Amino acid sequence: MYARIYLSFNPMNKTFCHMRKTSLLLLLLFAHLGMVTLSAAVKKESRADKIVREIHNPKSKYVIVVCHRGDWRNYPENSLQSIESIIRMGADMMELDLKLTKDSVLVLCHDKTVDRTTTGRGKVSDLTYAEISKLYLRRGHGVADPRYRMPTLREALKVCKDRITVNVDQGYEYYDLVLKVTEELGVTDQVLIKGKHAARDVAEKMASHRHNMMYMPIVGLPGKAGEALINEYKQRNEVPLAYEVCWKEMTPVVKGYMQQILASGAKLWVNALWPSLNGGLDDDAAFDGDPEKVYGQLLGFGASMIQTDRPEYLIKYLQKKGRHTLK
C-alpha cells in the first residue's frame, strides 16, 4: 500500500508524468485564452480612436467638431474643467495652445503673458512652473477662481487620452518636446499639430522621428503665402490630412482652392470663430440668425472639420443633419 502511494508520486511514474503533461497543457490553454482576451481588449477602439479613423477617411460624412480652447463660456479657457465639459458635450477635438515655462515645462496658455488669463503678471517664459501653478485662472468675464489652475500639457493629455482627440494650435515650435510627452502617454496618434511651415521643412521634421503626430497646414486665402503652400504640396505630390483654410471674403479664387483641396483627397477644416476667418459665416451669426445659412454654407463648401466657440449648438445642428453620429 505504502509502495503504491510512493510510486504514484514518483517523478518517473507514468501516471505522474501524464498528470504533469495534462497540467502543462491546461496551463498553456489558459495562457492562450488569456492572451486572446488581452489581445481583444487591446484592439478595442476607444472613442478617440474612432474619431481618428474618421479624420483619416476623406470620404467620411462625419463632421469633426473642434472646440476652441475648450468650453471657455463656462470655465476658464484651456483649463482641465473646460476639457471635461466638451467631452461631456460629445465634441471630437480639443484645440489648445502651448507655451514653455522658464524651467521647460509645457503649459496650456494662449498668450505670451499670464496677465489676461491668470492672477499673475509676466511672460510665461520668465516664470517657473512652480510660480505659475500658484496662480488662479480667470473665467471669461475676468473673475479669478482658486479652483482653476493652469495645467501642463501632460495633465491635459491624460484627461483627453482615448476620450477626445487634441489639436495643438500654437506649439509646432515645441514639436520635439510635445512628441516626447505624447509618446510617453501613448497618445501620439490622437494628436494633430498644425502650422504655416513649408512642406519640405515639415517633411524633414517628420523624417527625424520614427513616430509622428498628425500634421495639418494652415492657409489664408486669397494670399501669396497660402496659395504657394498649397502649390508646394501639389508639386511634391503630397496630400496633407487636411488644410485649415481662412478667408475674409468668399471669392472664386478661394472657392477654387477649396475644390482643389477636396479633389486632392485632403479634408477641409474651417473656423466658425469670428467673421474675419470665414467671410462672416461665424458661430454668433448662426446663433443669432439661421444656422442653415451659416453652418449649412460651410458644409456646402465641403468642410468636414469645424472649429467652433459654440460646440453644443453646432453638435445639435449636425446631429439633426445626420452628420455627427460616431460609429
Query: Mind telling me the catalytic residues?
Result: 68, 110
Q: How far is CA 182 from CA 52, 149, 158, 188, 201, in A?
A: 15, 22, 10, 5, 21
Q: In angstroms, rounded to a whole number, what is the distance separating the alpha carbons of residues 275 and 282?
A: 6
Half-sphere exposure of 134 (CA within 13 A, CB side): 6
Tell me the three cell numbers of residue 226.
497660402
Alpha helices per DSSP H over the chain: 2-8, 14-43, 47-55, 80-89, 129-132, 153-160, 175-185, 199-207, 224-235, 252-264, 283-288, 291-300, 311-320
Q: Is 121 left (phi over 0), alpha (psi -120 to 50) or beta?
A: beta
Length of the chain: 327
Q: Which residue has the cell 512652480?
A: 130
Cβ–Cβ under 8 Å, residues 286 and 294: yes
Cβ–Cβ under 8 Å, residues 162 and 48: yes
Question: How many C-beta atoms lie closer than 10 Å to residue 177's C-beta?
Answer: 16
Give the rounded distance of the alpha carbon of 132 from its chain centre.
Answer: 25
Q: In angstroms, rounded to a whole number, what is the distance separating the alpha carbons of residues 318 and 301?
A: 15
